[in-house]
Structure formats: structure tokens, C-alpha cells
A and B are shown apart, each in its own frame.
Chain A
Amino acid sequence: MSPYSALALLKHAVTGRPWPRAWRDPAPKAVYDVIIVGGGGHGLATACYLAKEFGIRNVAVLEKGYIGSGNAGRNTTIVRSNYMLPGAIEFYDFSLRLWNGLSHELNFNVMFSPRGQILLLHSPDALDSAARRGNIMRRHNIAARLLDRAAMQALVPHLDYRPSARFPIWGGLMQPTAGTARHDAVVWGYARAASDLGVDIIQNCEVTGFLREGGRVVGVETGRGTIRAGKIGIAVAGHTSRLGEMAGLRLPIESHLLQAFVSEPLKPLLDHVIGFGGHGHFYISQSDKGGMVFGGDLDMYNSYAQRGNLPVVRDVAAMAVSLMPCLGRVRLLRHWAGVMDMTMDGSHIISKTPVDGLYLNGGWCYGGFKATPASGWCFAHLIARDQPDPLTVPFSLDRFARGATIDEAGSGPTPNLH
């Protein structure tokens, strides 16, 4: 496949030749070394790193719809690594480092924009608490800046700084290296790079069951026939419990709805990603097209519906205008929901399973997008070497039984509160 470059762009512009398709569309083979179930960012990244870093190129990615049609295309595109629990800190730091080189690595512009993410602070206590988080981040060489009210006003002038504000602003905690990336481009970039290395990306191919021989999984039943493989990895955000059930696994996961919103395009208004938590839950950024991209809390009840309900729309809208009154008359362009596989501690699972040959990547709650590169890399390592990378060890499936949960929110085994 010819690399994308300024020269290639010029060549195509001059000759008028159409661009070739970015990834192949092969029919499934009968046997692969590795099958990845799920053609989202995580599944495609896994396949890409299996081929690129671990030399396993006889790989198929099976996607029930079209690639990127699940949560990879439904998130609010935020990339950050402002965690403070051991395990999560190192994992997300690794992910951010991969994000920084990703466009060059994939020869595809994923539009990673480290514009800075700011967590709003609304009381002196919140400032103290954020100072602690910032210090933990800096202790791990992750950039963090505590901003006072004046600094906030200079950086983000359109928040409500009036004395009568519903949420008075005392300051903010900024991770200057965090930001956003173009979610579709991440999917397409990984797909193109993986396909180029020999990975078969098979769309419209829903897995309906696992083929078992002597307790081991040896293949999958799909809408396009039986496909065998020595190792099978699951990376199917939202439906992890359903795939687990097919393999006889019961998992510490509930599926919940998360809604997201995008407004009509506006002129540049917000330079950073803004997060708001504790008194509610809200996050907002402005896309390169100008749309305000924002979201809030889960709908709070189990669901696979991919459509949310109005109380959350009302709550999110109320938080939007409370924090940025200038959004009051902005019209909503689109609004949708995705199905999150919420774990019992709010952290993800990258793990071997009790079933031989079956590997699990899931439970990303609603933080999966920023993890895409590290998730793919760590899952590829686990599948290729049959041993977890040190970054993966804390996120094993058996951590719940061992009492070694990684609960950043401290809300206990209550999936909808993470």
C-alpha cells in the first residue's frame, strides 16, 4: 500500500487518479493463528500490534457491523491520563505516550490534539484534593498544573465566574498533555496499518458461538461460517457479557447506557477539554468542525438499547448552561447513546480467562477511547506471549476474587457509580 504523504496528495491531485481503498476486504479464511472479535479501536489496534510488534500476521478481526460502528464511533474523543491509583497511572501514561506518536506510526492523521484537559474545582476542599492528585501525577512524570481562579479566567473565559454562579469556580487542575483525537481516524488508521501487515478485517461477520475442543476454544461460529484459530481475543465493548456467556463465562460487568451530544458548529469558543465532577458529571470540548461535544452521566440502569432517556438530556443540558451560560441558545445537532460495559471497580479487564485459548479485553466503562493504543498493545502482548505485560498484570479478571480492585472513584462494587 502506498504511504500517504504530501507528494502522494500532489500526485493524486495532478493525475486525478482515485485513491485506492484503505484496507482490503477479504473473504474469511478457514483458519487463522489469532482471531480478534470486535472491529473497534481496541480490536484493530490489537491486530495491528500483533502483526507489527509481535510478528503474528495470520490474524482476522471479525466485526458484526462495519468497523468503528460501536463505541469507537460513539465516544466524546477525550484523551487524558490524570489517574492516581497504581496500575491505572502507568497504563494510561503508556497510552498517552503512544498517542503522541500515533499519526506517524500509522501514517494516518488521527488528529491527536493535546490541547489540555482541565478539571473544574468548585471549593477550597476540591483545590486541596486536586493538589494531591496533581502531585501524584507529577510524581509519575505526568504533567499537572493547579490553576487558581484568575488563571482559569484567563484560560477559559466563557465559564460562569459571576458571584451568583451555580458552581462558583475556585480553580482547576490541568493536564496540559491531554486533549482529543479524531475517533473515526483512529479506527481507520489502525485498520489500514493492520490490513497492510496482512491482517484480514472481516466486516458484517457476527460471532454467534465458540467452537470448543477438550475445554479449549478452537474457533468461532459466525454469520459467514466457521472460522478456526489457535487463540481468540474478545474486544467487544458493551457486549462483553454476551460473548462471555457464549464461552460459559460469568463476568463482573453490567451494560449501561451513556449518552453524548454535539451542537451545531460554532466559531472557536473553547480551547481545552473541560471536566466537571463531584457535584454532577459533565465534560465538554469543541471539535475541529466547531461542534461542542459533551456528555454527562450514565442513564443508571442496565441496557443494551443504544438510545438514552430524557432525564439525562435534561441534567446534561442544565450542567452545560450552569457552567457555560453562553451555550443557552446553542442548538443541538445530534445526540446518541452507546452501551458501556461497566465493571465492578470502574477499571478495565485485559486478561486470560478460565477457558484455554480465550483472552478478554473489555470492561472499559466509559474511558475506553483514550486507552485504545495501550489496550491494543497490551492485549497483543498477552495473546502473543501468553503472559501479561507488567502494565496488564493489575487488570486481570481474578482481581475481584483477590480483593485487588482498582477503584479510582472509590464507589465500590456498584457499576453505575463509576
Chain B
Amino acid sequence: MLRINCPFCGERDHGEFTYGGDAAVVYPALGAPLDAWIDAVYVRTNPKGPHRERWQHSLGCRLWLIVERDTITHAITGVAPARSALSALLKEPGR
């Protein structure tokens, strides 16, 4: 069982989360060349080993997270909110 340590809710089984795919994928500007869009929509690095990926805590706080997970061992080495501003906020003392 994968366990994801949600920054808000604590460690939960991955059944509470929805997978959102490779976090390296960023959609280009609407006017970007077609090739950039084809790449973002269809092409994936699909690494064997460390993978930064999106998960949503859909049965919890519904926050989107960036999870660092190994695709061979399934070991999770990092979880952070997908919005970096939220990440910084969480690090403030007293939060």
C-alpha cells in the first residue's frame, strides 16, 4: 500500500488520492506552436526510477500535491502542495 503524507491531513492510504500524472507536464501558452501542445498533451518521459507526479487528495482536503515517488520501488520521498505559494505558507512558524 502506498501511503501519502498529505501536508494538511497527515499520512493516508493512496486510495484516498487520485493520480494526476507526470508533474513535469506544463501546458504551454494558448498561442504556442502546435508542436509544444502535441508534446504537452501526448508525449511523456515515463521514467523508470524517481518520478515527480501529481496526486489530488480527493477523499480528503482535495488539495493537489506534488509527490516524488520511485516507479520501481514505489518509495515516496517527498510530498508538497502543488501551489508553491501554499508550500511557503505551510513553512511559516505557527502554521
Q: Which residues of A contact B53 (CB under 8 A)?
A: 301-302
Does A100 reach chain B (CB closer than 8 Å)? no
Does A253 reach chain B (CB closer than 8 Å)? yes
Report whether B13 and A311 are in contact in the complex, using a CB–CB cutoff of 8 Å: yes
Report whether A300 and B42 are in contact in the complex, using a CB–CB cutoff of 8 Å: no
Q: Which residues of A contact B74 (CB under 8 A)?
A: 303, 305, 309
Report whether B19 and A416 are in contact in the complex, using a CB–CB cutoff of 8 Å: yes
Tell me the bound Cα distance from A414 to B38 in angstroms.
Answer: 14
Q: How many residues of A contact B (CB 8 A)?
A: 25
**Residues 251-302 of A at the B interface (beta carbon under 8 Å):** 251-255, 300-302
Tell me the bound Cα distance from A302 to B53 in angstroms.
Answer: 9
Report whether B43 and A311 are in contact in the complex, using a CB–CB cutoff of 8 Å: no
Specify the chain A residue showing the minimal Cβ separation from B39.
A250
Tell me the bound Cα distance from A413 to B21 in angstroms.
Answer: 11
Tell me the bound Cα distance from A252 to B39 in angstroms.
Answer: 9
Report whether B38 and A400 are in contact in the complex, using a CB–CB cutoff of 8 Å: yes
Report whether B71 and A250 are in contact in the complex, using a CB–CB cutoff of 8 Å: no
Report whether B2 and A309 are in contact in the complex, using a CB–CB cutoff of 8 Å: yes
Report whether A304 and B45 are in contact in the complex, using a CB–CB cutoff of 8 Å: no
Q: Which residues of B contact A413 (CB under 8 A)?
A: 41-42
Interface magnitude class on chain B: 20 to 34
Other-chain residue from B13, B15, B46, B71 in contact with A251 (beta carbon distance below 8 A): B46
Q: Which residues of B contact A416 (CB under 8 A)?
A: 19
Question: What 1/0 flags go to B46-86 for Cβ under 8 Å of A?
Answer: 10100101000000000000000101111000000000000
Does A177 reach chain B (CB closer than 8 Å)? no
Tell me the bound Cα distance from A250 to B35 in angstroms.
Answer: 13
Other-chain residue from B2, B34, B48 in contact with A304 (beta carbon distance below 8 A): B48
**Residues 221-261 of A at the B interface (beta carbon under 8 Å):** 239, 241-242, 250-255
Determine how close the nearest CB of chain A comes to the CB of B33; give it in whole angstroms.
12
Report whether B72 and A252 are in contact in the complex, using a CB–CB cutoff of 8 Å: no
Report whether A255 and B46 are in contact in the complex, using a CB–CB cutoff of 8 Å: yes
Tell me the bound Cα distance from A110 to B38 in angstroms.
Answer: 41
Question: What 1/0 flags go to B1-44 for Cβ under 8 Å of A?
Answer: 11000000000011100010110000000000011001101111
Report whether B38 and A241 are in contact in the complex, using a CB–CB cutoff of 8 Å: no
Report whether A309 and B14 are in contact in the complex, using a CB–CB cutoff of 8 Å: yes
Report whether B38 and A304 are in contact in the complex, using a CB–CB cutoff of 8 Å: no
Specify the chain B residue showing the minimal Cβ separation from A314.
B15
Report whether A400 and B71 are in contact in the complex, using a CB–CB cutoff of 8 Å: no
Does A159 reach chain B (CB closer than 8 Å)? no
Does A7 reach chain B (CB closer than 8 Å)? no
Report whether B14 and A242 are in contact in the complex, using a CB–CB cutoff of 8 Å: no
**Residue among B39, B41, B43 with the most chain A CB within 10 A?**
B43
Other-chain residue from B1, B21, B34, B46 in contact with A310 (beta carbon distance below 8 A): B1
Q: Which residues of B contact A252 (CB under 8 A)?
A: 42-44
Q: Which residues of A contact B71 (CB under 8 A)?
A: 255, 302-305
Tell me the bound Cα distance from A309 to B15 in angstroms.
Answer: 10
Report whether A302 and B46 are in contact in the complex, using a CB–CB cutoff of 8 Å: yes
Does A344 reach chain B (CB closer than 8 Å)? yes
Report whether A305 and B14 are in contact in the complex, using a CB–CB cutoff of 8 Å: no
Determine how close the nearest CB of chain B comes to the CB of A401; give it in whole angstroms.
5
Determine how close the nearest CB of chain A comes to the CB of B18; give it in whole angstroms.
8
Please judge, given known A-B contacts A302-B71, A303-B74, A305-B71, whether A241 and B46 are in contact too, CB under 8 Å: yes
Tell me the bound Cα distance from A242 to B45 in angstroms.
Answer: 9
Residues of A at under 8 Å CB distance from B?
A: 239, 241-242, 250-255, 300-305, 309-311, 344, 400-401, 413-416
Known: A250-B39, A302-B46. 8 other contacts (CB 8 A): A241-B45, A241-B48, A255-B71, A302-B21, A303-B74, A344-B42, A400-B41, A400-B43
Ranked 9 nearest A-B pairs via Cβ:
A241-B46, A252-B42, A400-B42, A311-B15, A301-B19, A304-B48, A344-B42, A401-B38, A300-B19
Residues of B at under 8 Å CB distance from A?
A: 1-2, 13-15, 19, 21-22, 34-35, 38-39, 41-46, 48, 51, 53, 69, 71-74
Please name 10 pairs of A and B residues whose Cβ atoms are closer than 8 Å in the assembled complex, sorted by A: A253-B44, A254-B21, A254-B22, A254-B46, A301-B53, A303-B71, A304-B48, A311-B13, A344-B42, A400-B41
